[in-house]
Protein backbone atom coordinates (compact mmCIF):
# COMPACT_ATOMS: atom_id res chain seq x y z
CA UNK A 1 0.00 0.00 0.00
CA UNK A 2 1.56 3.36 -1.01
CA UNK A 3 2.34 5.87 1.71
CA UNK A 4 -0.04 8.85 1.91
CA UNK A 5 1.12 12.00 0.17
CA UNK A 6 2.37 14.66 2.58
CA UNK A 7 1.00 18.19 2.45
CA UNK A 8 2.96 19.41 5.47
CA UNK A 9 6.09 18.04 7.13
CA UNK A 10 8.05 19.70 9.93
CA UNK A 11 11.05 18.52 11.91
CA UNK A 12 12.33 20.08 15.15
CA UNK A 13 10.54 23.34 14.37
CA UNK A 14 11.22 26.12 16.89
CA UNK A 15 10.21 29.77 17.03
CA UNK A 16 11.56 32.22 19.59
CA UNK A 17 10.60 35.81 20.30
CA UNK A 18 13.57 37.14 22.23
CA UNK A 19 14.03 34.78 25.16
CA UNK A 20 10.47 33.44 24.89
CA UNK A 21 10.06 30.08 23.14
CA UNK A 22 6.62 30.11 21.50
CA UNK A 23 7.08 26.82 19.60
CA UNK A 24 9.55 24.33 21.01
CA UNK A 25 11.15 21.65 18.80
CA UNK A 26 7.99 20.14 17.30
CA UNK A 27 7.81 17.50 14.54
CA UNK A 28 4.75 16.17 12.67
CA UNK A 29 3.30 15.61 9.21
CA UNK A 30 -0.10 16.19 7.60
CA UNK A 31 -1.41 14.07 4.74
CA UNK A 32 -3.10 15.35 1.60
CA UNK A 33 -6.89 15.68 2.00
CA UNK A 34 -6.67 15.19 5.76
CA UNK A 35 -8.54 17.21 8.38
CA UNK A 36 -5.77 17.74 10.90
CA UNK A 37 -6.67 19.22 14.28
CA UNK A 38 -4.08 21.23 16.19
CA UNK A 39 -5.36 21.40 19.75
CA UNK A 40 -4.35 23.26 22.84
CA UNK A 41 -5.20 26.11 25.22
CA UNK A 42 -4.70 29.77 24.37
CA UNK A 43 -1.00 30.63 24.22
CA UNK A 44 0.02 27.04 23.47
CA UNK A 45 1.79 27.92 20.20
CA UNK A 46 -0.95 27.06 17.72
CA UNK A 47 -1.16 30.40 15.92
CA UNK A 48 2.62 30.81 15.79
CA UNK A 49 2.92 27.39 14.13
CA UNK A 50 0.33 28.29 11.51
CA UNK A 51 2.06 31.59 10.77
CA UNK A 52 5.31 29.74 10.13
CA UNK A 53 3.61 27.20 7.88
CA UNK A 54 1.92 29.99 5.89
CA UNK A 55 5.22 31.76 5.29
CA UNK A 56 4.23 34.77 7.41
CA UNK A 57 7.14 34.38 9.83
CA UNK A 58 10.28 32.23 9.51
CA UNK A 59 11.21 29.50 12.00
CA UNK A 60 14.09 30.23 14.35
CA UNK A 61 15.46 26.70 13.96
CA UNK A 62 14.26 23.42 12.45
CA UNK A 63 13.02 22.55 8.99
CA UNK A 64 9.72 22.04 7.27
CA UNK A 65 7.97 21.89 3.92
CA UNK A 66 4.50 22.81 2.65
CA UNK A 67 3.71 20.78 -0.48
CA UNK A 68 7.45 20.26 -0.81
CA UNK A 69 8.33 23.97 -0.54
CA UNK A 70 10.87 24.66 2.24
CA UNK A 71 9.84 27.01 5.04
CA UNK A 72 11.71 30.27 5.48
CA UNK A 73 13.03 30.36 1.92
CA UNK A 74 10.04 30.52 -0.40
CA UNK A 75 7.33 32.34 1.54
CA UNK A 76 5.81 33.90 -1.60
CA UNK A 77 5.49 30.50 -3.29
CA UNK A 78 3.89 29.04 -0.17
CA UNK A 79 1.34 31.85 -0.03
CA UNK A 80 0.10 30.99 -3.55
CA UNK A 81 -0.89 27.43 -2.57
CA UNK A 82 -2.30 27.95 0.93
CA UNK A 83 -5.40 29.65 2.24
CA UNK A 84 -5.26 31.28 5.66
CA UNK A 85 -8.13 32.32 7.88
CA UNK A 86 -7.03 34.06 11.06
CA UNK A 87 -8.87 33.79 14.36
CA UNK A 88 -9.58 37.50 14.33
CA UNK A 89 -12.17 38.62 11.77
CA UNK A 90 -10.24 40.90 9.44
CA UNK A 91 -12.63 41.82 6.63
CA UNK A 92 -14.15 45.26 6.02
CA UNK A 93 -17.31 45.70 8.06
CA UNK A 94 -18.65 48.60 5.94
CA UNK A 95 -18.46 46.72 2.63
CA UNK A 96 -20.96 44.18 1.37
CA UNK A 97 -20.08 40.48 1.35
CA UNK A 98 -19.60 40.65 -2.42
CA UNK A 99 -17.39 43.73 -2.18
CA UNK A 100 -15.14 42.04 0.38
CA UNK A 101 -14.72 38.98 -1.82
CA UNK A 102 -14.17 41.15 -4.90
CA UNK A 103 -11.45 43.08 -3.05
CA UNK A 104 -9.63 39.90 -2.04
CA UNK A 105 -9.88 38.53 -5.57
CA UNK A 106 -7.57 41.39 -6.53
CA UNK A 107 -5.12 40.58 -3.74
CA UNK A 108 -4.54 37.02 -4.97
CA UNK A 109 -2.89 36.23 -8.33
CA UNK A 110 -6.20 35.47 -10.04
CA UNK A 111 -6.55 36.34 -13.75
CA UNK A 112 -8.99 39.22 -14.19
CA UNK A 113 -10.98 37.16 -16.71
CA UNK A 114 -11.52 34.45 -14.06
CA UNK A 115 -12.44 36.62 -11.10
CA UNK A 116 -16.22 36.65 -11.44
CA UNK A 117 -16.28 32.87 -11.73
CA UNK A 118 -14.10 32.50 -8.63
CA UNK A 119 -16.25 34.97 -6.69
CA UNK A 120 -19.41 33.06 -7.61
CA UNK A 121 -17.73 29.78 -6.52
CA UNK A 122 -16.69 31.26 -3.18
CA UNK A 123 -20.19 32.62 -2.52
CA UNK A 124 -21.76 29.26 -3.36
CA UNK A 125 -19.34 27.19 -1.26
CA UNK A 126 -19.87 29.43 1.75
CA UNK A 127 -23.64 29.61 1.29
CA UNK A 128 -23.64 33.40 0.95
CA UNK A 129 -25.00 33.79 -2.60
CA UNK A 130 -28.32 35.15 -1.32
CA UNK A 131 -26.57 37.53 1.10
CA UNK A 132 -23.88 38.90 -1.18
CA UNK A 133 -25.34 42.43 -1.06
CA UNK A 134 -25.63 42.53 2.75
CA UNK A 135 -23.33 44.88 4.63
CA UNK A 136 -20.73 42.70 6.35
CA UNK A 137 -21.13 44.46 9.71
CA UNK A 138 -24.79 43.38 9.85
CA UNK A 139 -24.02 39.66 9.39
CA UNK A 140 -24.05 37.23 12.29
CA UNK A 141 -20.79 35.87 13.68
CA UNK A 142 -21.31 32.57 11.87
CA UNK A 143 -21.92 34.25 8.51
CA UNK A 144 -18.87 36.48 8.97
CA UNK A 145 -16.77 33.37 9.47
CA UNK A 146 -18.23 31.89 6.29
CA UNK A 147 -17.34 35.09 4.46
CA UNK A 148 -13.77 34.96 5.74
CA UNK A 149 -13.59 31.35 4.57
CA UNK A 150 -14.91 32.33 1.14
CA UNK A 151 -12.14 34.92 0.79
CA UNK A 152 -9.47 32.38 1.75
CA UNK A 153 -10.70 29.98 -0.95
CA UNK A 154 -10.65 32.39 -3.90
CA UNK A 155 -7.31 31.22 -5.30
CA UNK A 156 -8.27 27.54 -4.88
CA UNK A 157 -5.62 26.66 -2.30
CA UNK A 158 -4.31 23.11 -1.91
CA UNK A 159 -3.99 23.55 1.87
CA UNK A 160 -6.32 25.56 4.08
CA UNK A 161 -5.13 26.84 7.46
CA UNK A 162 -7.96 27.77 9.82
CA UNK A 163 -6.92 29.42 13.07
CA UNK A 164 -9.69 29.07 15.68
CA UNK A 165 -12.35 29.42 12.94
CA UNK A 166 -15.36 28.99 15.23
CA UNK A 167 -14.22 30.98 18.27
CA UNK A 168 -17.14 32.97 19.64
CA UNK A 169 -19.63 31.40 17.21
CA UNK A 170 -22.89 29.77 18.29
CA UNK A 171 -23.14 25.93 18.30
CA UNK A 172 -25.35 25.69 15.18
CA UNK A 173 -23.00 27.92 13.17
CA UNK A 174 -20.06 25.85 14.40
CA UNK A 175 -21.73 22.68 13.13
CA UNK A 176 -22.50 24.27 9.74
CA UNK A 177 -18.93 25.50 9.45
CA UNK A 178 -17.58 22.01 10.07
CA UNK A 179 -19.82 20.64 7.33
CA UNK A 180 -18.01 23.03 4.97
CA UNK A 181 -14.68 21.72 6.23
CA UNK A 182 -15.72 18.13 5.44
CA UNK A 183 -16.80 19.13 1.93
CA UNK A 184 -13.44 20.78 1.29
CA UNK A 185 -11.58 17.73 2.58
CA UNK A 186 -13.61 15.40 0.36
CA UNK A 187 -12.65 17.54 -2.64
CA UNK A 188 -8.95 16.96 -1.87
CA UNK A 189 -8.13 20.11 0.09
CA UNK A 190 -5.93 19.54 3.14
CA UNK A 191 -7.45 21.31 6.16
CA UNK A 192 -5.21 22.25 9.09
CA UNK A 193 -7.41 23.63 11.87
CA UNK A 194 -6.55 24.93 15.31
CA UNK A 195 -9.15 24.91 18.04
CA UNK A 196 -9.57 24.76 21.79
CA UNK A 197 -13.03 23.20 21.41
CA UNK A 198 -12.25 19.55 22.10
CA UNK A 199 -15.69 18.37 20.95
CA UNK A 200 -14.98 19.76 17.47
CA UNK A 201 -11.70 17.89 17.28
CA UNK A 202 -13.53 14.57 17.64
CA UNK A 203 -14.31 14.87 13.92
CA UNK A 204 -10.72 15.35 12.72
CA UNK A 205 -8.87 12.53 10.97
CA UNK A 206 -5.94 13.08 13.33
CA UNK A 207 -5.19 15.49 16.14
CA UNK A 208 -2.03 16.89 17.67
CA UNK A 209 -2.01 18.16 21.26
CA UNK A 210 0.27 21.12 22.01
CA UNK A 211 0.86 22.91 25.31
CA UNK A 212 3.54 25.40 26.30
CA UNK A 213 4.95 25.24 22.78
CA UNK A 214 5.64 21.49 23.03
CA UNK A 215 3.90 18.76 21.06
CA UNK A 216 2.51 16.15 23.44
CA UNK A 217 0.82 13.59 21.20
CA UNK A 218 -0.32 13.09 17.59
CA UNK A 219 -2.86 10.40 16.73
CA UNK A 220 -6.41 9.77 15.50
CA UNK A 221 -9.22 10.40 18.03
CA UNK A 222 -10.28 6.74 17.73
CA UNK A 223 -6.83 5.37 18.60
CA UNK A 224 -6.42 7.85 21.44
CA UNK A 225 -9.71 6.74 22.99
CA UNK A 226 -8.97 3.05 22.57
CA UNK A 227 -5.59 3.37 24.26
CA UNK A 228 -6.69 5.69 27.07
CA UNK A 229 -6.90 4.44 30.68
CA UNK A 230 -10.13 3.68 32.51
CA UNK A 231 -12.34 6.67 33.36
CA UNK A 232 -15.09 7.00 35.98
CA UNK A 233 -17.93 9.51 35.92
CA UNK A 234 -19.17 10.48 39.38
CA UNK A 235 -22.44 12.29 40.11
CA UNK A 236 -23.14 13.82 43.53
CA UNK A 237 -25.68 16.23 44.97
CA UNK A 238 -22.83 18.37 46.31
CA UNK A 239 -20.35 17.96 43.45
CA UNK A 240 -18.14 20.85 44.60
CA UNK A 241 -17.57 19.23 47.99
CA UNK A 242 -17.04 15.82 46.35
CA UNK A 243 -14.35 17.28 44.08
CA UNK A 244 -12.57 18.82 47.08
CA UNK A 245 -12.63 15.49 48.93
CA UNK A 246 -11.33 13.54 45.95
CA UNK A 247 -8.60 16.12 45.33
CA UNK A 248 -7.42 15.76 48.93
CA UNK A 249 -7.29 11.97 48.43
CA UNK A 250 -5.74 12.15 44.95
CA UNK A 251 -2.63 10.18 45.97
CA UNK A 252 -4.87 7.27 46.97
CA UNK A 253 -7.61 7.23 44.32
CA UNK A 254 -6.25 9.03 41.24
CA UNK A 255 -6.65 12.38 39.47
CA UNK A 256 -10.07 13.98 39.12
CA UNK A 257 -11.46 16.96 37.17
CA UNK A 258 -14.81 18.69 36.94
CA UNK A 259 -16.90 18.37 33.74
CA UNK A 260 -20.03 20.46 34.14
CA UNK A 261 -21.58 19.20 37.37
CA UNK A 262 -19.98 15.76 37.02
CA UNK A 263 -16.56 14.57 38.11
CA UNK A 264 -14.28 12.55 35.84
CA UNK A 265 -11.71 10.47 37.68
CA UNK A 266 -8.87 8.32 36.33
CA UNK A 267 -8.76 5.68 39.08
CA UNK A 268 -5.76 3.84 40.35
CA UNK A 269 -6.13 0.02 40.14
CA UNK A 270 -8.63 -1.51 42.56
CA UNK A 271 -9.81 1.65 44.30
CA UNK A 272 -13.48 1.78 43.17
CA UNK A 273 -14.79 0.72 46.59
CA UNK A 274 -12.48 3.22 48.31
CA UNK A 275 -13.79 6.03 46.09
CA UNK A 276 -17.37 5.16 46.98
CA UNK A 277 -16.56 5.02 50.72
CA UNK A 278 -14.71 8.36 50.66
CA UNK A 279 -17.58 10.16 48.94
CA UNK A 280 -20.35 8.57 51.04
CA UNK A 281 -18.54 9.26 54.32
CA UNK A 282 -18.11 12.93 53.38
CA UNK A 283 -21.85 13.49 53.01
CA UNK A 284 -21.73 14.64 49.38
CA UNK A 285 -24.87 12.77 48.38
CA UNK A 286 -23.47 10.18 46.00
CA UNK A 287 -25.82 9.55 43.08
CA UNK A 288 -23.82 7.24 40.81
CA UNK A 289 -20.37 6.05 39.77
CA UNK A 290 -19.97 4.50 36.32
CA UNK A 291 -17.27 3.87 33.76
CA UNK A 292 -17.49 6.12 30.66
CA UNK A 293 -15.66 6.55 27.38
CA UNK A 294 -13.16 9.41 27.66
CA UNK A 295 -13.54 12.55 25.59
CA UNK A 296 -10.58 14.21 23.90
CA UNK A 297 -10.65 16.76 26.69
CA UNK A 298 -10.21 13.97 29.24
CA UNK A 299 -7.32 12.58 27.23
CA UNK A 300 -5.67 15.98 26.85
CA UNK A 301 -5.91 16.66 30.59
CA UNK A 302 -4.42 13.22 31.30
CA UNK A 303 -1.57 13.69 28.81
CA UNK A 304 -0.82 17.15 30.14
CA UNK A 305 -0.74 15.87 33.69
CA UNK A 306 1.69 13.11 32.66
CA UNK A 307 3.99 15.65 31.03
CA UNK A 308 4.09 17.72 34.21
CA UNK A 309 4.96 14.81 36.50
Q: Confirm whether 299 is domain-assigned.
A: no
Question: Are residues 258 and 208 part of one domain?
Answer: no
For every residue of 123-139, DSSP letters joined together read: HHHHT-GGGTTSBGGGS
Task: Give pLDDT, residue 289.
Answer: 92
Task: Give pLDDT, residue 14.
Answer: 97
Of 192, 225, 258, the last residue of a domain is 225
Q: Is 108 exposed, middle or buried (0-12, 13-18, 19+ CB in 10 A)?
A: middle
Question: Are residues 23 and 10 part of one domain?
Answer: yes
Q: Is the dihedral of CA 57, 63, 69, 72 positive or negative?
A: positive
Q: Which stretches of 23-74 are DSSP H helices?
A: 46-53
Task: Give pLDDT, residue 200.
Answer: 81
Instruction: Give the Cα-Cα-Cα angle 198, 89, 32 (nearest 5 degrees).
Output: 55
Question: Are residues 170 and 21 part of one domain?
Answer: yes
Q: Confirm whether 298 is domain-assigned.
A: no
| Among the listed residues 3, 37, 46, the one whose alpha carbon sits nearest the alpha carbon of residue 220 | 37
Question: Are residues 209 and 108 part of one domain?
Answer: yes
Q: What is the pLDDT of residues 213-267, one digit of tens each?
A: 999 999 999 998 888 878 899 999 999 999 999 999 999 998 888 888 999 998 9
Q: Confirm whether 15 is domain-assigned.
A: yes
Q: Confirm whether 302 is domain-assigned.
A: no
Determine the Cα–Cα distance for residues 291 and 62; give it in Å rounded to an integer: 43
pLDDT at 133 over 90: yes
Q: Confirm whether 303 is domain-assigned.
A: no
Question: Are residues 211 and 154 part of one domain?
Answer: yes
Q: Is 20 exposed, middle or buried (0-12, 13-18, 19+ CB in 10 A)?
A: exposed
Count: domains in the chain: 2
Determine the Cα–Cα distance for residues 70 and 57; give it in Å rounded to an integer: 13
Task: Give pLDDT, residue 62.
Answer: 95
First-residue to last-residue Cα distance in the chain:
40
Question: Are residues 248 and 188 part of one domain?
Answer: no
Question: Are residues 219 and 243 part of one domain?
Answer: no
Buried b (16+ CB within 10 A) or exposed e, 213-223: bbbbbbeebee
Average pLDDT, the chain: 88
Q: What is the CATH number of the domain that holds 243?
A: 3.30.70.100
**Contact between residue 265 and residue 246 where contact means Cβ atoms under 8 Å apart:** yes
Question: Are residues 147 and 211 part of one domain?
Answer: yes
Question: Are residues 89 and 47 part of one domain?
Answer: yes
Confidence of residue 309 (pLDDT cuts 50, 70, 90): very low
**Contact between residue 47 and residue 87 where contact means Cβ atoms under 8 Å apart:** yes
Q: Confirm whether 305 is domain-assigned.
A: no
Q: What is the pLDDT of residues 168-208, one digit of tens each?
A: 777 888 888 888 889 889 999 999 998 877 888 888 999 99
| E strand or H helix at 177 | helix 171-186
Question: Are residues 142 and 116 part of one domain?
Answer: yes
Question: Are residues 235 and 209 part of one domain?
Answer: no
Measuring CA to CA, how many Å separate 179 from each of 127, 183, 185?
11, 6, 10
Question: Are residues 79 and 12 part of one domain?
Answer: yes
**Contact between residue 195 and residue 166 where contact means Cβ atoms under 8 Å apart:** yes
Q: Confirm whether 306 is domain-assigned.
A: no
Determine the Cα–Cα distance for residues 155 and 244; give it in Å rounded to an integer: 54
Domain that holds residue 240: 229-293
| Among the listed residues 43, 38, 2, the one whose alpha carbon sits nearest the alpha carbon of residue 218 | 38
Confidence of residue 22 (pLDDT cuts 50, 70, 90): very high
Q: What is the pLDDT of residues 51-103, one digit of tens each?
A: 999 988 999 999 999 999 999 877 888 988 999 988 776 788 999 999 999 99
Amino acid sequence: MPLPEKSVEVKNLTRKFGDFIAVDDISFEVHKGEVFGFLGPNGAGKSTTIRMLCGIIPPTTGTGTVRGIPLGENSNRIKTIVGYMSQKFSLYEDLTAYENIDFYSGVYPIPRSDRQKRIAEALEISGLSDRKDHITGTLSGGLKQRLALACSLLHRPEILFLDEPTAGVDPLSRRNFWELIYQLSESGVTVFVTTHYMDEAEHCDRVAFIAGGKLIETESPRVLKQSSPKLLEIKCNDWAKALDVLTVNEAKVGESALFGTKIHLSPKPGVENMIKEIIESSGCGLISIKEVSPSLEDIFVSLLSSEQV
